[in-house]
Structures are given as C-alpha cells and as structure tokens.
Chain A
Amino acid sequence: AAPQVHSLQELRRSASLATKVFVQRDYSDGTTCQFQTKFPPELESRIERQLFEETVKTLNSFYAEAEKIGGSSYLEGCLACATAYFIFLCMETHYEKVLKKISKYIQEQNEKIYAPRGLLLTDPLERGMRVIEISIYEDRCSSGSSSSGSSSSSSSGGGGGVGGR
C-alpha cells in the first residue's frame, strides 16, 4: 500500500489531477489585490478550514504590503521619476521583492501543508493575479488500480480501479 503522504515531487508523479478550485479576487476594497477568504466546499474533506483561511489571509497581507502607498514607495517613485525611470533597468522594485517573498511562502506552504493533503497551490502571479488555483489530486496508488502485472484484469478493472477512489 502506497503511503498517503506525498512530497511535492512525488505528488506530481504518483497522483493524478482530479479537479481545480479557484479562489477569486475580492474587490470590495477597490482594485487592490485581495483574495476571498470564503472556504470552497470542494476542500471540505481535504484540509482544515482554519489552515486554508490562514494561508489566504497571509497572502492578502503580503499583497497589501506590496501595494502599500507610503513613505518608501513615494521615495522609490520620486527617485525613479527623477532618473526618467532609467533606474528601473537596474533596480528591483519593492513590489517585485514582495512577490519573491510570496512565491517562497507559497512553495513552503505547499511543501508543509498542502502536498501532504494532496493539494497544490499555484502562485496567483501565474494566473494573472486573478485567482488562487488549488489543484486537487487524487491518489492513484491508494486506489489499488495500479498493480503492474495483470494486464487483462487491469483492462476491465482499470475502469473499476479508478472509479474506486
């Protein structure tokens, strides 16, 4: 019997994608990047509500930090303007720095929390900052359909095996 807990790499190899859940943007505060903390019903059986909400809230706080209009962002903006924006050719903006932090955080969350539960978070940056895509993987090892030897049984049982998730 294959173990239930997967590492991130194993997940990609041994499981198959069942469905994807999309956490949409929350526009109630304007055009700032925030995601809805509403718990998707598809994840009901896969992960604790609190863990999920915590992830989304942390992501929201990261984005708020990136888009914060304050002293340092003004300084950066004025400096950039003064150099006719040539400085952007060599300098990384504050937003980009925070995005790097976000991607590290997502990677870490995936490894620690989501992959062991057969889930995978996709960085919203790869989806145009529109959604947090959560891929739900079905574990094929555990369904017992993957016994290697018996070809004939697998052809008829292939259907049954997969169906028996």
Chain B
Amino acid sequence: MTPGGGSGPMKDCEYSQISTHSSSSPMESPHKKKKSAPKRKWEVFPGRNKFFCNGRIMMARQTGVFYLTLVLILVTSGLFFAFDCPYLSEKITPAIPAIGGILFFFVMGTLLRTSFSDPGVLPRATPDEAADLERQIDIANGSSSGGYRPPPRTKEVIINGQTVKLKYCFTCKIFRPPRASHCSLCDNCVERFDHHCPWVGNCVGKRNYRFFYMFILSLSFLTVFIFAFVITHVILRSQQTGFLNALKDSPARYPFTENSVVCFFSVWSIVGLSGFHTYLISSNQTTNEDIKGSWSNKRGKENYNPYSYGNIFTNCCAALCGPLSPSLIDRRGFIQPDTPQLAGPSNGITMYGATQSQSNMCDQDQCIQSTKFVLQAAATPLLQSEPSITSEELPLPGKTTISGPCATLTLGQPTPPSSMPNLTSDTGLTDMIPLKEEHEGHQFLTPEEAPSPPGMLPSGSPITHSHTMHVLSLASQDSLHEDSVRGLVKLSSV
C-alpha cells in the first residue's frame, strides 16, 4: 500500500487512484483493459434484438422470414429483368425495364430501411427513474407494498377530450406513453406500436411506419407491374407462335411459371395489405388499435380517435411526411461512467464509496476501516444465504447499496474475483478498490431508493440474472458468489 494517501486530502478520486495503480494485483490488468475498451450501448441492450455493423443496423431476433422476403423479391425481379425485359423493351418500349428498375430500387430501399431501423424503441427506465415512479405509485396507492404485487398500475390522461389509460410496463419499468405497446417478441416498448412484422424482421412503430407503408405500396406496384408484363410477354409470344409453343420454346418458361405464381399470390395479399394500411393512415390508427377496437363506435357513442386530425389528407401527411423523431436508444454511443451517484447517509461507508466526493479519510487506517465496512456490508446478504459462514452484524446503510456492488460485480467482472482468495487480506483490500472504481462506472442504487425492490439492476446489465425469489441473491453466478464470499471472509479477519 502506498504512503501517498496523506497528500491529497480533497481529491479523493486521485487518492484512490494512487492506491490502486501502485499495487501490483493481478486484477489490475483485466480491469485496465476493460477501461480502455469502452463498450457501445448496443452491446448491453436489454431487449431481444440483433445488431449488425457495430450498432448501425437493428433487427428482431428471428430474421429467417426476412431473408425469405428478400429472396422472393430478388429472384422474381431478377427473372423478370433477365427474361422478360429484353423481349418487352424491344417489342413495346424500353421504358418498361426503366420503370421496373425504379420500382425495384424503391422497394429494396424501403424494405431495408424498415428492417434495419429502430422502430421507436423506448429505453428502459434508469434505476433512479424507476425508483421515483415506484415511490409515487406507493404514495398514490396509500400503502407501502409488501411482498405481493399491487394491482395493475394505470394512469389516466385526457387527450383531446378522450380518456386514455396509460399502463405501467413491468419489464421496462415505465408508464407507457399513449399508443405505445410492449412487443413480446422483441421485449421492448415501442412508440406508436403498429405490429411486429416477421416479413421485415422487425417491429413496425413510429419511426419506421412510413418506410413500411412505402414498402408495401411500392411492392404492390412492383408485383402488379411484373405480373402484368409477364402475362403480356406470354400473350405477345403466343400471338406469334401459339400459346403452347410460346411456353415450350421460350427459355423463360420456368421463370414465367415462377413469376406468375409468386406474383399472383403476392398481388392479392400485398395489395390487400396496402389497402388496409391506407385506411389506417387516413384514420390515424395503428394496427394494434384497430384490432383492439380502441376507437370504434361499438364501444360507445362518445368514443372517437383523439389522435386524428379530422381530415384524411392531414392524417396522411402527418403519418408520411411528418417529422422523423430520432432514435432514443443511442445504439452506437459509448457507455459513460456516470457522475457520482451516491449520496451520503451519515456513516463512513458511503463516504468512501463516493469516489469523487471530498472525503475526510485520507488516512490509511481509515481507508481500510471503511473498506472493511463496505465489504462486510456487502458480504452480509451473501453470507446470509450461506449460513455456514458467520458474519458480523452490521447496520446496513441500505440494502440497495449492497445489491449495487454485488450486481456490478457480476456485471463488470465475470472472472476476476477468482483471484481474490489467493491474496492476503491486505492486497485483498486493494483488489476490492479497483472493483469499486469500476462500480462507479455503473449506476449505484442510492439508499434512498431502498423502498423499491432491490431487484432493480442497472438496466444495462448484459448478463441476464436469474431473478430468484430472494431479491438479494443477485450474484447469480455461483462461483463468483463463492469467490467473493471467500475473499470477504479473509478480509474480515483483518
């Protein structure tokens, strides 16, 4: 341990940095490496999505049907351009392949935009936000929630004279804005949720609805176009040589069959879908609302759609040409260590824990003492689940501060604590310090958030914890658990 502790009293963060960097613990290098390769937010995204191109592309988990869509479109169009266009451009006009080309380009562009963009996913609530909401709900309910789940939480708002119920999403820990819905396939709340489309491999929501609509619209035109001209091709050929001969001689008889069959079925379904969505757009409804009959007259005479602008033209313009809101999930941003999260309840534990607060503990002994406190406090819930190990009774400053370190232990360091049992108590302490440093990079739950169930981890947790019944058994990785317990037992012998 370095004697550099006494020098910088006010800059606690510098002090702790000195003590960590100077010690030669094996934990240091993986810790340092982690710090130098910051993760992007998409890597720790909690929903069930797939990301490509370093976070630029976002899709649902099941993308098989999307590839089918791509193949169908590419093959059908390819065959059309290869076999029908040469004949038709000669016989009729070269505008046919030109228009076909434009349509194809449009279809592909809108399809890829629909599939790859963020539909309007709402990021999950930060722990602070969730805690604040819980507090308000408890106040509203008039009782502090015990172990059971209180009745479904709803908020009512009046929008343009219509009463709308906002539901609380237990997964995302937010009250869903109006028209938002939680997609069970992607496990995200999506704004203005329309539906989850397997054909495009993504949800359709506020941000990509217009792309989706333009896609199905242009695809209907394309399929009708191809279908019409394939038929025209065969008719023209059969005028020359007779129908059956046309089919026999033409090198395009298989493509013809394929094209006609695919196009025939597509025309009905895609054109039908376009028609349906045109209706939805003109009345400013989502598929979700239409299916549930939220604004239908059957529910009551007073029921009307509060989001509609009144006339069809404005509704269409708003949906298709309105402003495009930005993605709220910032996929390519780097995960920033937050500014200090801990507030100070009055004891030495959190004073040490808040790295950037000017602490009065520059003294080595004080350091060790308080670290010991923290660790023992952290150890207590762990030790509770392992009755064979005795622990000292400590007044816990707040259970959530404990779950903080535990959770972030599992978050940040899947393997390092295995080094802990090998160290003597002294170096064991300094090993915990770099862990704490890393912890500041994750959000701590402050003791004030104690009323909320401590099961609330920072939402960016990449490791899915098994939320067992006992909320404090957050350190779900058993080896990690054992190691940290062992390490802490050694420390308590100091």
Chain A residues at the B interface, C-beta cutoff of 8 Å: 12-22, 25, 27-31, 66-69, 73-74, 76-78, 80-81, 84-86, 88, 93-96, 99, 125-131, 133, 138, 140-141, 145-151, 154-155, 157-163
Contact = CB atoms under 8 A, between A and B. Distances in A.
B157 interface: yes
Given A12-B356, A84-B109, 19 more contacts: A12-B340, A16-B340, A20-B128, A20-B132, A27-B157, A69-B314, A77-B210, A80-B324, A84-B113, A85-B113, A96-B326, A127-B126, A133-B128, A140-B344, A146-B9, A148-B362, A151-B363, A159-B348, A162-B346
Q: Which bracket fits the contact residues of B?
A: 35 or more
B211 A16 contact: no
Contacts of B363: 151
A130 B174 contact: yes
A158 B164 CA distance: 50
B229 to A, nearest CB: 22
B110 interface: yes
A2 to B, nearest CB: 9
Contacts of A22: 128-129, 132-133
B179 interface: yes
B357 A16 contact: yes
A140 B350 CA distance: 13
Contacts of B110: 84-85
Nearest to B132: A22
B343 interface: yes
Given A13-B356, A130-B174, A147-B360, A77 B320 contact: yes
Given A30-B306, A74-B317, A128 B356 contact: no
A30 B328 CA distance: 19
Contacts of B307: 30-31
B365 interface: yes
B343 A18 contact: yes
A27 B180 CA distance: 12
3 A-B pairs with the lowest CB-CB distances in the bound complex, closest first: A148-B9, A77-B321, A84-B109
Interface in B324-380: 324-326, 328-330, 339-348, 351, 354, 356-363, 365-366, 369
Contacts of A127: 123, 126, 129
B165 to A, nearest CB: 11
Contacts of B342: 16-17
B166 interface: yes
A23 to B, nearest CB: 11
B341 A31 contact: no
Residue picked from B191, B328, B330, B345, most chain A C-beta under 10 Å: B328
Contacts of B448: 19
Interface string B148-179: 00000000011110001010000000100111
Q: Which of A13, A31, A81, A84 is most buried by chain B, counting CB atoms within 10 A of its CB?
A: A84
A154 B361 contact: yes
A85 to B, nearest CB: 5
A160 B346 CA distance: 6
B125 to A, nearest CB: 8
Interface of B: 9-10, 105-106, 109-110, 113, 122-123, 125-126, 128-129, 132-133, 157-160, 164, 166, 174, 177-179, 191-192, 210-211, 214, 306-307, 314, 317-318, 320-326, 328-330, 339-348, 351, 354, 356-363, 365-366, 369, 446, 448
B103 to A, nearest CB: 10
A162 B344 contact: yes
A67 B347 CA distance: 49
A74 B321 contact: yes
A42 to B, nearest CB: 11
A125 B329 CA distance: 9
A69 B290 CA distance: 24
Nearest to A79: B321
Contact of B362 (A19, A25, A138, A151): A151
A159 B320 contact: no
A29 to B, nearest CB: 7
Nearest to A136: B343
A30 B343 contact: no
A146 B324 contact: no
B319 to A, nearest CB: 10
Contacts of A150: 360
Contact of A154 (B129, B339, B360): B360
Contacts of B359: 146
Contacts of B329: 128
B344 A138 contact: yes
A160 to B, nearest CB: 7
Nearest to A146: B358
Contacts of A145: 360
B360 A151 contact: yes
B1 to A, nearest CB: 15
Contact of B324 (A30, A95, A149): A95
A155 B361 contact: yes
Given A74-B317, A85-B113, A99-B326, A155 B160 contact: no
A95 B323 contact: yes
